[in-house]
Chains A and B, each alone.
Chain A
Amino acid sequence: MSARETILKRLRERADGALSAPESDFSVMTGRGWSPQERLARFEHWIGSVHGEVIHVAEDDWTGALTTLLVDKGVRRLALGKRHPVAAEARLALADAGVALVDVDRDIEQWQREQFENVDAGLTSTRGAIAETGSLWLWPTPDEPRLMSLVPPLHIAVLDAATLEDTFFDVMERHEWADGMPTNALLISGPSKTADIEQTLAYGVHGPRELVVIVRHATAADSHDTRPEA
């Protein structure tokens, strides 16, 4: 008998008899009912508490903020996609900004060392975020691969304020994750960190040392303003 058969047989022929499965009540995971402002405030509080930086910008001017950020952080080589509107708009805006744009639409085998040693920042879009824990959620794509948010020392993530939701559970249910999961789904809440040396917090142990979230707010009268109340 194979290991598989032996294990399954032992489990099925349980000495104390078959077990009955209880029903689950998930109400504690949902129903927060936060307003957009409350959601944003919570998101910012929690991601800030673990060293994530948040920049608020108007939707139609976000690339200006990106350019300033790149200068401030001294980024000379930025890895980014091509097709996603975030990447496409950034490419346009950065054409003459003196920042080298590093293409990521190459198989990693061709440029692993370059990515590990010679990229200052990775720019990615996000699918949304979670207010309760201050988490971004990303489903990497061929256009924005998995390692872009991990290997460079700075990760810049672009988030639309309107895509903030209350809890992880809500995100999963509303977007029907169970109907089709991608190759890799990620929650990211702050830069990489460790407390393995005598409980002292240190950032950037394996992944990025810094995470900056550019939160884009809908402009003009076409949508509700989600910026935090002054």
Chain B
Amino acid sequence: MSEQAPGVHTYHPREFHRQAHEALDNPQIRANFRKAMDGLMAKRCDSFDDWDLEALRELGANIRLRALARLPDLLEQLEANCEANGVRVHWAEDGDEACRIVREICESHGATSVIKGKSMVTEEMHLNDHLEEAGIEALESDLGEYLVQLNQQTPSHIIMPAIHLNTDEISRIMHDKTGIERTRDVDAMTAAARQQLRERFMAAGVGVSGVNFAVAETGTLCLVENEGNGRMTTTVPPVHVAVTGIEKVVEHLRDVPPLYSLLTRSATGQHVTTYFNMIGSPRKEGERDGPKEVHLVLVDGGRSDIYQDDELLDTLRCIRCGACMNHCPVYTRVGGHTYGTTYPGPIGSILSPHLMGLEETRDLPTASSLCGACGEVCPVKIPIPDLLVRLRQESVGEGRGNVAGAGVKRSRKELAAWKGFQWLATHPSAWRAGTSMAGKLRGLTPAKLGAWTRHRTAPKPASTTLHALVKQHQAARTDKEECR
């Protein structure tokens, strides 16, 4: 990764707890997220008004399952159809290999400037840093991504990258970095960004985009967006490179409308986005615009590992709508950067451990109250809470052991404590002796109990155990008992 400018805050999943504290202490962050998430939840709810939502979610889940069940065949079919359409297909085992492929395409065209449409997988593989090291400038064109890039930050939400910033902060960023007059007028700031980016679209040698759905049956790449920067990125520069995770493939074209319906409503509560852009091929003979070359880069990046396990597999159904974060009480309070990963919130907590290993991400599966909201709103019915529990088990070495870094949180002390508790709880006389002893020695309980007492007072064992209380109560009622 390239060096960060001085004063730029970097986040890391290992520092989750510290970062969460900082975020919780920042009223601005909390207010920005609270406001945005409340609005998004209400809008999502309204947007499904006319629908049999359960039937639609069932269909969405089922389409994704079917695609995963046939994944290797569909990837080959996608490749064959893309190639037949004139789209060149590349495969990358990891992010580094994918970065290399994109860089080589740029270099083969002598491109020194790349314009980017929103793409989470390129965030995941740190493409911008990689290109910059090779002397190729990569500029984000989605307004939110552009602002975040100007501010030398990373996105804090997968759909709304700049959701952590408010109008005043954005006004300051645009003034400081692009020299426009300070203003609180959103239209004026939007118009300025339009002007700045139009030049860049014209100058870019290569456009890099993500993919929302890749259709195996026809070799079609689908992009969902509101701004038009995605269409610009995939139409204006002479070369278009689409980058996608291997799980984004769907079998049939008819699988697309249900997923699109679910995606826009779940993400932002929109009944539809402004543009649905379906790319079939490079510019054909006689056509007047569009890129002359289109490439598709298929990135594994840990996905084929997730694919091996029947339970974890569900993670790959995700269509990246962000609804799970919008509804997550933890995400809403700590914000996206706190997670220190490309994908924050519940989806990030079940995905990042596979991409980065549990060593780095050990705290993320615990960043949840298991309230279940994420699983309930997920448009493709991913049982997120179950997967969080599974990853907690993996992290303490009680799972199947097939996640990198499994067992990293296994602690001898904790294990011994639970073993002891288990023994006590299954031996009644020892239990009674122990609890009555604890009651007698209650004055000796330490006032500080590590993490527990950081925000709570230390619990004191009761002087009389529940068992003893029940006994006294029963004795008092003996007469009645005898009457029965």
List the interface of chain A (C-beta within 8 A of B).
2-4, 6-8, 10-12, 14-16, 19-29, 46, 49-50, 104-108, 112-113, 116, 132-135, 141-142, 145-147, 150, 167-169, 172-173, 177-178, 181-200, 202, 204-208
- Centre residue among A7, A184, A200, A206 by max chain B CB count within 10 A: A206
Q: Are A183 and B290 in contact (CB under 8 A)?
A: yes
Distance between Cα atoms of A26 and B51 in the complex (Å): 13
Distance between Cα atoms of A133 and B56 in the complex (Å): 16
List the interface of chain B (C-beta within 8 A of A).
32, 35-36, 39, 51-52, 55-56, 58-59, 62-63, 65-66, 68-72, 75-76, 91-93, 97, 141-144, 147, 160-163, 165-167, 170, 186-187, 189-191, 193-194, 197-198, 202, 217-220, 226-229, 231-232, 235-236, 246, 252-258, 260-261, 268, 271-284, 286-290, 298, 300, 304, 307-310, 313, 402
Name B68's contact: one of A19, A50, A146, A196 (CB within 8 Å).
A19
- Centre residue among A104, A172, A181, A205 by max chain B CB count within 10 A: A205
Q: Are B166 and A189 in contact (CB under 8 A)?
A: no
Chain B hits for A186, CB < 8 A = 231, 275-278
Given A116-B198, A146-B290, A198-B166, decide whether A183 and B283 contact each other with a Cβ distance below 8 A.
yes
When A and B form their complex, which 9 residue pairs have the shortest distance between CB atoms, in order from nearest? A207-B228, A196-B144, A133-B272, A21-B69, A187-B276, A19-B69, A206-B228, A192-B228, A108-B289
Given A16-B309, A26-B59, decide whether A178 and B218 contact each other with a Cβ distance below 8 A.
yes
Chain B hits for A181, CB < 8 A = 218-220, 253, 278, 280
Distance between Cα atoms of A181 and B298 in the complex (Å): 21
Q: Are A168 and B227 in contact (CB under 8 A)?
A: no
Name A205's contact: one of B36, B227, B257, B288 (CB within 8 Å).
B227
Distance between Cα atoms of A150 and B227 in the complex (Å): 10
Q: List 14 A-B contacts (CB under 8 A).
A: A10-B300, A15-B402, A21-B66, A21-B69, A28-B52, A107-B288, A116-B202, A177-B253, A183-B287, A188-B275, A197-B186, A198-B36, A206-B197, A208-B228
Distance between Cα atoms of A8 and B253 in the complex (Å): 23
Q: Are A145 and B288 in contact (CB under 8 A)?
A: yes
Q: Are A196 and B257 in contact (CB under 8 A)?
A: no
Given A28-B258, A181-B218, A186-B275, decide whether A3 and B91 contact each other with a Cβ distance below 8 A.
yes
Chain B hits for A112, CB < 8 A = 202, 236
With both chains docked as a complex, state the minimum distance between the C-beta of B369 and any C-beta of chain A, in angstroms. 26
Q: A181-B278, A183-B290, A199-B39 are in contact. List 6 more A-B contacts (CB 8 A).
A: A50-B274, A145-B289, A147-B236, A178-B217, A186-B276, A206-B141
Given A21-B70, A200-B167, A207-B227, decide whether A189 and B198 contact each other with a Cβ distance below 8 A.
no
Name A26's contact: one of B68, B162, B198, B254 (CB within 8 Å).
B254
- Centre residue among B55, B258, B287 by max chain A CB count within 10 A: B287
Chain A hits for B56, CB < 8 A = 28
Distance between Cα atoms of A189 and B165 in the complex (Å): 28
Q: Which residue from chain A places its CB closest to the CB of B170 in the assembled complex?
A: A197
Name B254's contact: one of A19, A169, A189, A206 (CB within 8 Å).
A169
Q: Are B281 and A183 in contact (CB under 8 A)?
A: yes
Chain B hits for A177, CB < 8 A = 218, 253
Chain A hits for B66, CB < 8 A = 21-22, 24
With both chains docked as a complex, state the minimum distance between the C-beta of A42 and any C-beta of chain B, in angstroms. 10
Q: Are B288 and A142 in contact (CB under 8 A)?
A: yes
Q: Which residue from chain A places its CB closest to the CB of B304 in the assembled complex?
A: A10
Q: Are B278 and A198 in contact (CB under 8 A)?
A: no
Chain B hits for A16, CB < 8 A = 308-310, 313
Q: Are A6 and B93 in contact (CB under 8 A)?
A: yes
Q: Which residue from chain B places its CB closest to the CB of A211 in the assembled complex?
A: B274
Chain A hits for B309, CB < 8 A = 15-16
Chain A hits for B288, CB < 8 A = 104-108, 142, 145
Q: Are A7 and B280 in contact (CB under 8 A)?
A: no
Name A167's contact: one of B93, B141, B257, B280 (CB within 8 Å).
B257
Q: Which residue from chain A places its CB closest to the CB of B166 in the assembled complex?
A: A198
Chain A hits for B252, CB < 8 A = 178
With both chains docked as a complex, state the minimum distance between the C-beta of A154 and any C-beta of chain B, in angstroms. 13
Q: Are B284 and A7 in contact (CB under 8 A)?
A: no
Distance between Cα atoms of A106 and B56 in the complex (Å): 44
Q: Are A187 and B93 in contact (CB under 8 A)?
A: no
With both chains docked as a complex, state the minimum distance between the C-beta of B166 and any C-beta of chain A, in angstroms. 5
Q: Are B91 and A204 in contact (CB under 8 A)?
A: no
Q: Are B91 and A205 in contact (CB under 8 A)?
A: no
Distance between Cα atoms of A173 and B254 in the complex (Å): 7
Q: Are A7 and B227 in contact (CB under 8 A)?
A: no
With both chains docked as a complex, state the minimum distance between the C-beta of A165 and any C-beta of chain B, in angstroms. 12
Q: Which residue from chain A places its CB closest to the CB of B308 in the assembled complex?
A: A15
Chain A hits for B63, CB < 8 A = 24
Name A183's contact: one of B92, B162, B284 (CB within 8 Å).
B284
Q: Are A206 and B218 in contact (CB under 8 A)?
A: no
Q: Are B190 and A11 in contact (CB under 8 A)?
A: no
Distance between Cα atoms of A3 and B75 in the complex (Å): 13
Q: Are A134 and B257 in contact (CB under 8 A)?
A: no
Given A8-B75, A105-B288, decide whether A24 and B59 contact each other with a Cβ distance below 8 A.
yes
Chain A hits for B260, CB < 8 A = 168
Chain B hits for A169, CB < 8 A = 254, 257-258
Q: Which residue from chain A places its CB closest to the CB of B168 in the assembled complex?
A: A198
With both chains docked as a complex, state the minimum distance between the C-beta of A205 and any C-beta of chain B, in angstroms. 5
Q: Which residue from chain B places its CB closest to the CB of A134 in the assembled complex?
A: B272
Q: Are B273 and A189 in contact (CB under 8 A)?
A: yes
Q: Which residue from chain A places its CB closest to the CB of B234 in the assembled complex?
A: A184
Chain B hits for A182, CB < 8 A = 280
Distance between Cα atoms of A202 and B276 in the complex (Å): 19
Chain B hits for A196, CB < 8 A = 142-144, 147, 160-162
Q: Are B232 and A206 in contact (CB under 8 A)?
A: yes
